[in-house]
Amino acid sequence: MGLRIRAARADDAAALDDICIRTGHAGGDATDLYAHPELLADVYLRPYLVLSPDLAFVVANDDDVPLGYVVGVADTAAFEAACEERWWPLVRERHPQGSAEPGSRDAALVQLVHEPRRTDPDVAARFPAHLHVDLLPVAQGGGHGRALLERLFAALRERDVPGVHLGVGAANARARAFYHHLGFTTLEEDDGGALLGLRLDAGRG
């Protein structure tokens, strides 16, 4: 299978939603775990495509169908402010507070939509960028995750971004080992998961 990396396009949206949902449960398929699995894309994918389209890359097969993606932002604080203004209001309208079954996974995401987490300003200062990367099982383990991240890191370095962070759930040991292998270190950790960071300016004079 010949896979290649390219910039994400608007017409990839449905395929990327699908990848997000099929990798949304600690790296595994989340489709049947949610009444509205597209909420995962509303939180972890779509705002990046809308607000930071130049930092979205896909790995596509011979038919140009995306099998994986990385989405990122260069400035997390600015992105969070833009989401508050231009993204969350749209999702809140579609998923009002109290609209999901109490205690369900949907309810946890609806809560996040209405009360989004804000990144610690110290983390955002040292590691201003952040990212999400997801590949379908068929594309995993072949170097494409690394290739997607390196493509994003090159784009961030071009913008003189000094560091990048990301969150990984406690149940996703495989992804965490992958990130550590690529040089990320643990910045914070609790029962839910870990915040990892990587400086992009190491070795620069």
Interacting residues with ligand COA (CB under 6 A): 23, 27, 133-135, 140-146, 168, 172, 174-175, 177-178, 181
Closest contact distance (angstroms) between CB of 93 and ligand COA is 28
Rg (CA), the chain: 16
Q: How many helices (H) and strands (E) would you count in the chain? A: 9, 7
Provide the H-helix boundaries in 115-205: 121-126, 144-158, 173-181
Comparing CB distances to ligand COA, the nearer of 2 and 102 is 2
Closest contact distance (angstroms) between CB of 205 and ligand COA is 26
Contact of 16 with 88, CB cutoff 8 Å: no
Comparing CB distances to ligand COA, the nearer of 68 and 163 is 68
Q: What are phi and psi of 145, to 5 degrees?
A: -60, -45
Closest contact distance (angstroms) between CB of 59 and ligand COA is 8
Comparing CB distances to ligand COA, the nearer of 121 and 137 is 137
Closest contact distance (angstroms) between CB of 32 and ligand COA is 17
Comparing CB distances to ligand COA, the nearer of 104 and 140 is 140
Closest contact distance (angstroms) between CB of 137 and ligand COA is 8
**Nearest position to ligand COA, beta carbon:** 145
Give which of 155, 164, 169 is closest to 127, Cα–Cα.
164
Comparing CB distances to ligand COA, the nearer of 33 and 90 is 33
Comparing CB distances to ligand COA, the nearer of 88 and 178 is 178
Closest contact distance (angstroms) between CB of 135 and ligand COA is 4
* Percent of the chain as helix, strand, coil, to the nearest 5: 45, 20, 30
